[in-house]
Amino acid sequence: MGLQKHSNLAGYALGNILKHKTKTVALLIALITSTFLLASTEFIREGVVRDVNSSLEEGPDIVVQRLVGGRQVAVPHSWVDNVSKTAGVQLASPRVWGYSDIGTGSLLTVMGVNASDYGEAYGAVGTNILESGRFLRENDTNRMVVGKGIVDLMAASHSSLHVEVGSNLSLISYDGRLINFQIVGIFTSESKIFSYDLILTDLESARSVIGGENSTFTDIAVWTELGAPLNDVAFRLDTRMPDARVLTRDGISDSMLKVYGGRAGIIAILWAIILVIVVLLALTVSSGGSDESRREVGLLKALGFDTVDVIEIRMFESTFVGLLGGSIGLSASIVFDFILGAPVLSGYLLGWNLLLLNGGIPLSFSPQILFIVYSMSVIPILVATVLPAWRNAIIEPDSVLRGV
């Protein structure tokens, strides 16, 4: 009997929603807009966070750069010995990196490494996650280990080239020359931002592509000894070389997330404003000042409905509208982000970095996002409904029906 009663109340609430079409549509439009903005932003934000964390797991513990006048400049060769001799440092490997093109119009990251050192770094991107082929050897010249994204990019290009281990690729150098490389290995990575289209080669070959002096490097990748406190090692490096910028994994993560997620706050403010509109609309719809709402409550109570029943009906109405608006907004955001690639929004959130994302924007769909979306679409209007519904429900039915 109890279940049947709640089912009847839910049916009556659904009929009420269909009867008051104007109010329902106004509330749905605001809810859909709010949910769409929230979900679209969250898919990108969580995707960036996950991608950054994945890239850090495949990268060094510390990166040492050189600053002159607040700007990053080349690191001299002498710094490698200084970093290597610092207590707690297991491996210090110099790197030379920059951007180049293979004729597809997409900028690719070219990184030159010391093969004998870099290959010893456990978990480093491009080493022990090879899909096919091998890693660089000490005497390799004009050889490259590439991310899976290079294969995808070439297959999607106008010429639809199939590249594999043994294939040759030409990179456009800083002075416009074409430099031929042979692919010796292909690796996979969970990171779409930093490793998807990464090209690893030797230091000299990288310099021939991106420029730079033979005795300098872009930065130094540092792996610490097992059990060595990361912050302590970073502090020693910082005090040992005053003009160095020492970035730990946490520091790199913070800087990356600021670059890729700094503008999400503006979207959050816009979403909050729309959510306030949703709450105000729900409050207005359920307001005790509505004569129509008061007459309806009076009739229900005259027919034997008690205060709890009236409140339950209003809660059913809010829940139905919230779930419907949340579902439509969520579905629209999935199509917008995962199928259309979040045009305009992704460009605003990621800025010029979007030009470097050859693998597409990083997106993530998780149960946490579902929980947040439905919570923010149901709970606010549910809360905005309870108080007005209670105020209407405690009115004596004879007073309302007499028009008092």
Q: What is the mean pLDDT of residues 53-63?
A: 79
User: How confident is the model at residue 289, as a pLDDT?
Assistant: 46
DSSP letters along 75-103, please?
EETHHHHHHHTSTTEEEEEEEEEEEEB-S
Structure confidence at residue 335 as a pLDDT band (50, 70, 90): very high
Q: What is the mean pLDDT of residues 72-91?
A: 88
* Contact residues for 16 (Cβ-Cβ < 8 A; gap 6+): 313, 317
> CA 218, CA 97: separation in Å to the nearest integer?
6
User: How confident is the model at residue 362, as a pLDDT?
Assistant: 77
Pick the closest to residue 205 from 146, 141, 145 (CA basis): 141
Pick the closest to residue 182 from 164, 197, 194 (CA basis): 164
User: How confident is the model at residue 327, as a pLDDT?
Assistant: 93
Task: Kindly report whether the global pTM for this prediction surpasses the value 0.75.
Answer: no
CA angle 134, 136, 142 (to 5 degrees): 115
Structure confidence at residue 295 as a pLDDT band (50, 70, 90): low
User: How confident is the model at residue 356, as a pLDDT?
Assistant: 52
Structure confidence at residue 404 as a pLDDT band (50, 70, 90): very low
- The domain limits of the chain are 2-53+261-401, 60-258
92/52: higher pLDDT:
92
Structure confidence at residue 336 as a pLDDT band (50, 70, 90): very high
Other beta carbons within 10 angstroms of residue 295's beta carbon come to 15
Lowest average pLDDT, out of 172-176, 254-258, 300-304, goes to 300-304
User: Pairing between strand 75-76 and 216-217?
Assistant: antiparallel
> CA 37, CA 326: separation in Å to the nearest integer?
11
pLDDT greater than 50 at residue 130 = yes
% residues pLDDT > 90 (the chain): 7
> CA 148, CA 49: separation in Å to the nearest integer?
21
293/150: higher pLDDT:
150
> CA 27, CA 325: separation in Å to the nearest integer?
8
User: How confident is the model at residue 379, as a pLDDT?
Assistant: 85
User: How confident is the model at residue 288, as a pLDDT?
Assistant: 45
pLDDT greater than 50 at residue 23 = yes
Average pLDDT, the chain: 79
> CA 157, CA 378: separation in Å to the nearest integer?
46
Other beta carbons within 10 angstroms of residue 395's beta carbon come to 17
Q: What is the pLDDT of residues 157-211, one digit of tens each?
A: 666 777 788 888 888 888 888 889 999 988 877 777 777 778 889 999 999 988 8
